Chains A and B, each alone.
Chain A
Amino acid sequence: MINLVADPLTGDWVSLADARQQRPLTAPGESTCPFCPGPASEVGSPPFHVAVFPNRYPVFDSPGAAEVVVYSPRHQDDLGYLTPAHARLLWEVWGERSHALAARPDVETVFVFENRGRRIGATIDHPHGQIYGYPYVPPRLAQERRARHAACPLCQVENWAVVIAESPEWQLVVPHAMRMPYQSVLVPRRHLDGLGALSREELANGAAMLQQAYRAYDHLMGFRASLAMGVHQAAGGHLRLECLPIERGQMRQKYLAASELVMGAFVTDIPATVAASRLAAAFRAASLPSASSRDLADLTDLKEPES
């Protein structure tokens, strides 16, 4: 049973999906991974590179939609380390499913995202992401619309963020007002409102840069960084892919606490310029998947400034 509940104080919607209490929680190495191919699997047995299906435990289900995107049949794979062609295919699938869901009358906003790592809330280790078709405008998007910028801030991204890597098609930036340490945003140079509008070159280059960003986080921390990645797509808006890691240093986690959870006011303790410098170094070092495990962590000073 799914209920949408509006908060009269803020106007925000909350989805109550109590069936999600029943969803599986697979421990590392458990043989019951529902996304590994097999007769009892969610994906069945056919060969595939990427598979998509409606979530068995949906957050939204008409109105709205909730789909699961399995990135690979291999349990140990990760978006950052797929082959370039495999990553491009994933982006194409994201674009195709976004288009299909956006066309539904009961879907207001399509959100492609991944919770990477158990510590940020992924309940299944198998590499996968999700697509929500919100039946409403989510709060952050509503907030951006209310801000009514005279000009798109992302079209002049240097004013909004520190650029750490760029290509002819994309810029990877750290926002000056980052909400989480080492937050980064991948922004296309062209003002496009969705994945479906990307040219072939833009898609290929964007997929490669997102992979490199994932590997950069791993370089920086020395282990697979837990992060939330989400794709902002909205009619008339500026497409962007946002990575919000929960690590604030090696073996140190940034927790959302009272200020963030109660007041929605984020506090970070690393200046954007410092985060950008470290992430830029990590990004360069993570240029090739084969270099993914090089110990950049030893080369990067992650000590927090004395307070």
Chain B
Amino acid sequence: MGEGAARDTWVRPDGRTVRYYHLDEPLPQKLSLAVVTGADTYVGRAVVQFLHGHGLPVAALSTAPLPLAVPRFVGTAGFGPAWEALLAAHEVHTVYHCTRQPAPGWGSSPTRRQEAEAWAVHVADTLALLARWDDEPPAVVLLSSAAVYGDGDPALVAENRPLAPDSAYGHSLAAAEALVADFAPRHVILRLFEVVGPDHVGRVADSPETPWTQLTRGQAVTTVPERTDYVALDAVVTALASAGQHLIDGGAPLTLNLGTGVATDPAALAAAFSVPVPPTFVGKGLVADMSRMRSAWGWVPPAPPLPALARASRAALAAEALAHD
């Protein structure tokens, strides 16, 4: 044995001998960092950028390449080998769990396969993620959705409203919330009420086929009705980051609504873009009651994002649309 190595033995009750070898040096501490799952989603990517930009150690789990200089592991939130590589070298203090889109083309009439994919993404991946840790898992910030409330009265929705999902998407997200609440004592669940966007150039959520790109192309808006209201990307990212900080500071588990708290007026939308908005372009009517979010950590919901959208360059929007052609 080399210098500093020692050994001893123990005879087990079943007669087998265990030989121990040890060094003088203790096992090293690993670098502790935050992990963003679904880091190639629209929100996940922005969260990685935000944390990295603030000098916080962060790693990304994604299936697609990222144009970001952060450690990336290839896989979904439920892919064991990605976690094994990550945890071999790092500790994890917080997981920002941004579930990926269940399947391309998800809309108001999902296929059975798409519905099954929603369960796989929300439930199977979340369970596999939480099961990585023998003991208590790290703090978890789950980005959920108002879909867990289902369609309802067009009124303010507070967090104590009973869940009544009416789609596989909503049901599976509600199940993911239950898993997080059960397995991760330190958690914040944020229920997102509106499609995320715009960012600084006016992009909205993951799909290039948004009302905005369609409008810039002069096409009819064919999007699903939910997409009348938008919460600014920066707002979502800062809400997620502040949720993580809340948990690092020892804050209690929380489930909060996240949105603008204000329904967008279709007339204002039309005025912002100087184009007519079809009558189908109307929201579901669920509006987040943001009072609890405000009281939880003083996060102020943004104003309706239309002014920001209106400021976005039409040229940038058109370029974005063309880039996806």
Contact = CB atoms under 8 A, between A and B. Distances in A.
Interface of A: 27-31, 33, 36, 42-44, 46-54, 56, 72-78, 80-81, 83, 85-86, 88-89, 92-93, 96, 117-119, 125, 200, 218, 221-226, 250-251, 289-290, 292-295, 297-298
Nearest to A77: B88
Interface of B: 1-2, 4-5, 8, 10, 12, 14, 16-23, 25, 27-28, 31, 59, 63, 65-66, 70-75, 79-90, 128, 130-134
14 contacts: A27-B131, A33-B134, A43-B18, A44-B10, A48-B21, A53-B19, A74-B27, A76-B84, A85-B23, A119-B81, A223-B82, A225-B81, A295-B65, A297-B72
Nearest to A204: B2
Contacts of B19: 51-53
Nearest to A41: B18
Given A56-B16, A298-B72, A289 B89 contact: yes
A223 B18 contact: no
A228 to B, nearest CB: 15
Contact of B1 (A33, A78, A89): A89
A49 B1 CA distance: 13
Contacts of A119: 81
Given A85-B4, A223-B82, 10 more contacts: A28-B128, A51-B19, A81-B89, A92-B21, A125-B84, A200-B2, A224-B82, A225-B81, A250-B74, A297-B65
Contacts of B18: 42-44, 51-53
A222 B72 CA distance: 7
B82 A29 contact: no
Contacts of B70: 295
**DSSP class of B's interface residues: helix, strand, loop or mixed?**
mixed
Tell me the dominant secondary structure on chain A's binding face. Answer: loop
Q: Which 3 A-B pairs have the closest CB atoms?
A: A222-B74, A293-B71, A29-B131
A92 B2 contact: yes
A289 B28 CA distance: 12
A42 B10 CA distance: 11
Contacts of A49: 21-23, 27
A226 B81 contact: yes
Contacts of A96: 1
Contacts of A223: 73-75, 79, 81-82, 84-85
Contacts of A218: 85
B125 to A, nearest CB: 13
B12 to A, nearest CB: 7
B89 to A, nearest CB: 5
B84 A224 contact: yes
